[in-house]
């Protein structure tokens, strides 16, 4: 079984601040994938990134960056110079096994204000 | 425009009503999923279909009845619901059920049971 913990329930920042969303996961599998999704007020979950367990290189995509630390089972997400449009609920989700499914935690609600 | 379309976007129904939620994807995906999202709870996976066959039912009450006539369409038939069934119901699809496949989500149906 897999489990994910996003300890930050809500974060509020002022525009242009950097913010890091934490994600800690549990799995007994050695091969697995980790995903981040964004859920804006409109409701749909939007795919942000997929990372496999063998690739520990950090990834940067524009203002977004991800820090994968296999030793601590963490896959944290940083938004640099946050913008109001970043306001959403963000979900980290592990996926393991051959007939796998995405397991979601409760997510982190990010509120970016002017 | 999302690749997964859900209708209706909003639904209010009485406890004695019968209604259906519809999900449609034209992404060529073979797996489809129903998730329930209640306030302050993790997304709950309800049903999984792979190549039109139901492969998972996570102890969902029988008042929820899924139907998958083909790989592009997924329905959730509702009858004699309870107020606690009010939630956002999200449909998702993926190419397959391999561990590296991410899901594409619809915008959801916001269901209110009165």
B15: Cβ contacts below 8 Å, ≥ 6 apart: B80, B81, B82, B83, B113, B114
What is the rounded distance in angstroms from the CA atom of residue A103 to the CA atom of residue A18?
27
Q: What is the pLDDT of residue A99?
A: 53
Across the range B85-105, mean pLDDT stands at 89
Q: Look at A1-15, A90-104, B50-64 and tell me which has the smallest mean pLDDT.
A: A90-104
Q: Would you say residue A1 has pLDDT above 70? A: no
Determine contact, residues A103/A5, Cβ cutoff 8 Å: no
Closest CA to B87 of B57, B61, B48, B69: B61
> For residues A67-103, b (16+ Cβ closer than 10 Å) or e, as one string?
ebeeeebbbbbbbeebeeebbbbbbbbbbbbeebbbb
**Which among B89, B91, B96 is positioned nearest to B110, based on CA atoms?**
B89
Taking an 8 Å cut-off on Cβ atoms, the answer to whether B99 and A35 are in contact is no
For residue A60, the model assigns a pLDDT of 87
A4 to chain B: closest CA residue? B42
B36, B44 contact by CB (below 8 A): yes
> The dihedral of CA B12, B15, B17, B18: what is its sign?
positive
Which of residues 21 through 60 in chain A touch B, CB cutoff 8 A?
31-33, 35, 37, 42-47, 50, 52
Identify the residue among B42, B55, B92 best suited for mutation to test binding to A, counting A beta carbons within 10 A and taking the highest: B42
Spatial separation of the C-alpha atoms in residues B15 and B11, rounded to whole Å: 12
Instruction: Give pLDDT, residue B86.
Output: 96
Q: Structure tokens of A106?
A: 């409760």
**B99 pLDDT tier (thresholds 50, 70, 90):** low
More confident residue, B5 or B96: B5
Probe site for chain B from A95, A98, A106, A108 (most B CB atoms < 10 A): A95
Examine the pLDDT at A67 and tell me if it is beyond 70: yes
* Mean pLDDT for the stretch of residues B63-82: 96
pLDDT score of B114: 94
What CA–CA distance (Å, rounded) separates B53 from B56? 9
* Neighboring chain B residues of A99 at a CB cutoff of 8 Å: 55, 97
Taking residues B43-62, what's their average pLDDT? 92
Interface touch A47/B103, C-beta < 8 Å: yes
pLDDT digits (tens, 9 = 90+) for A16-60: 999 999 999 998 888 888 999 999 998 889 999 999 888 888 888
**CB–CB contact B99 A31 (8 Å):** yes
Number of H helices, E strands in chain A: 0, 11
How many other C-beta atoms are found inside a 10 Å radius of the C-beta of residue A40?
14
Contacts of B112 (CB under 8 A, 6+ apart): B10, B11, B12, B13, B86
pLDDT for the residue A35: 93
Percentage above 70 pLDDT, chain B: 97
Calpha distance A13→A108 (Å, rounded): 13
**Chain B neighbors of A43, CB-CB under 8 A:** 88, 90, 107-108, 110
CA nearest B31: which of B5, B68, B60? B68
Report how far residue B93's alpha carbon sits from residue A24's, in angstroms, rounded to the nearest whole number.
25
* Chain B residue nearest residue A6, CA to CA: B42
Mutate to test the interface with B, among A52, A101, A104, A109 (most CBs of B within 10 A): A101
Q: Is B14 exposed, middle or buried (0-12, 13-18, 19+ CB in 10 A)?
A: exposed
């Amino acid at each position: 079984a897999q489990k994910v913990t996003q300890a930050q329930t809500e974060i509020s920042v002022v525009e242009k601040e950097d913010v890091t969303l934490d994600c800690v996961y549990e799995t007994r599998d050695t091969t697995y994938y980790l995903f981040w999704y964004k859920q804006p007020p409109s409701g749909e979950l939007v795919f942000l990134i997929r990372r496999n367990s063998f690739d520990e290189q950090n990834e940067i995509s524009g203002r977004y960056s991800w820090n994968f630390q296999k030793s601590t089972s963490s896959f944290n997400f940083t938004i640099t110079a946050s913008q109001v449009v970043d306001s959403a609920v963000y979900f980290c989700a592990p996926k393991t096994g051959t007939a796998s499914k995405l397991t979601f935690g409760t997510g982190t609600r990010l509120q970016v204000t002017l | 425009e999302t690749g997964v379309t859900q209708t209706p976007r909003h639904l209010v129904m009485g406890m004695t009503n019968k209604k259906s939620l519809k999900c449609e994807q034209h992404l060529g995906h073979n797996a489809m999923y129903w998730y329930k999202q209640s306030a302050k709870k993790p997304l709950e996976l309800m049903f999984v279909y792979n190549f039109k066959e139901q492969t998972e039912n996570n102890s969902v009450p029988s008042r929820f009845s899924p139907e998958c006539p083909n790989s592009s369409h997924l329905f959730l038939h509702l009858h004699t619901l309870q107020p606690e069934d009010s939630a956002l119901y999200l449909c998702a699809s993926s190419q397959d059920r391999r561990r590296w496949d991410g899901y594409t989500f619809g915008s959801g149906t916001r269901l209110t049971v009165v």
